[in-house]
Amino acid sequence: MQTPLKDIVFEMRSLEPFPGVAARVMELAGRPDVVPSDVIALVQTDAGITSKVLKLCNSAYFGFQREIASMHEAGNRLGVTTLVNLVMTSSAGKYFRDYGGASADALARLWKRSVATAIMARLVAQKHRRCDPEQAYTAGLLQNIGSMVLERHMSDARFAIRAVAKSGCTVIEAEKRTLGLHHAEIGARLCTKWGLPELLVDTIRYHHAPEMATVNKLLAATSHLAEHLTDTLLAQEQPAGPGQDPELLYDLAPVALQVTHVTERDFEGLQERLRSELERASEFLDG
């Protein structure tokens, strides 16, 4: 059963806009002279985001000895890049709650996958030390936002995608043939609509084909590898969940290993670190 492209485009258009404060925070963070106080002042204009960021700051993930009670303290303790990622995590989580026809369980699984991919992208960047780990986190968090748009259709389309993929093409091509657009393109168009930076849009668009990235191939390769490592790990833990269907896992592009200089010998260690970090990230998974 083919999902009409017009339905997907309608979902993209009707989706609630990305918080303006979060988009402006990302833009501000990209300036070379930015300091924590600049970001803090902007975040504090949105009470909802401020409260969510403080909740994450005080979570077990960071393990501070005493409670952080203000954005000023949070910014000075965490720095600009980590603060930006908390803003993005707080803002993105709302799209994985009560959305359209998707079940709460499906959205919870997709959100866990997004957070896990973000953490893994940071770990991969820390491993190769050639791009900003916090920038990699943001890309990992949002690179599969297109899957959330498709989830309301995915229960019907999954069987068709599997059948097409079994005919001899890649899963990403099977998505395109079945749905009209694959999830990476949907995510890129959505982030363009939200006014997010071109670096992020380009990475999302090409995270399954990092060799085609036009802005930063290393970041795209990092995102690609992070997704592969996350999906193979989560497939072992929750094989029935959306995005972890063993027959619908995306292929690993060899260029990702070539560009990042990460080897298959590193996979187990990276996945074990992800397991450990996810155990401390329960507040992040609340959406």
Print the SS3 string covering the chain. CCCCHHHHHHHHHHCCCCCHHHHHHHHHHCCCCCCHHHHHHHHCCCHHHHHHHHHHHCCCCCCCCCCCCCHHHHHHHHCHHHHHHHHHHHHHHHHHCCCCCCCHHHHHHHHHHHHHHHHHHHHHHHHHCCCCHHHHHHHHHHCCHHHHHHHHHHHHHHHHHHHHHHCCCCHHHHHHHHHCCCHHHHHHHHHHHCCCCHHHHHHHHCCCCHHHCCCCHHHHHHHHHHHHHHHHHHHHHCCCCCCCCHHHCCCCCHHHHHHHCCCHHHHHHHHHHHHHHHHCCCCHHHC
**Is the pLDDT assigned to residue 21 strictly greater than 60?**
yes
Q: How far apart are CA 122 and CA 112, in angstroms?
A: 15
pLDDT, average across residues 217-221: 98
Q: For the whole model, what pTM was predicted?
A: 0.90
Distances (CA, A) of 101 to 51, 96, 154, 198: 29, 12, 10, 30
- Which of 1-15, 28-42, 126-140 has the highest mean predicted lDDT (pLDDT)? 126-140
pLDDT, average across residues 260-286: 93
Domains located in the chain, CATH noted: 5-17+95-286 (1.10.3210.10)
Structure-derived torsion over alpha carbons of residues 88, 141, 82, 133, reported in degrees to the nearest 10: -150
pLDDT digits (tens, 9 = 90+) for 36-79: 889 999 999 999 999 999 999 999 899 898 899 999 999 889 98
Q: Are 88 and 142 in contact (CB under 8 A)?
A: yes
**Is the pLDDT assigned to residue 242 strictly greater than 70?**
no
pLDDT value of position 1:
46
**Is the pLDDT assigned to residue 4 strictly greater than 70?**
no
Q: How far apart are CA 5 and CA 190, in angstroms?
A: 14
Q: How far apart are CA 204 and CA 107, in angstroms?
A: 19
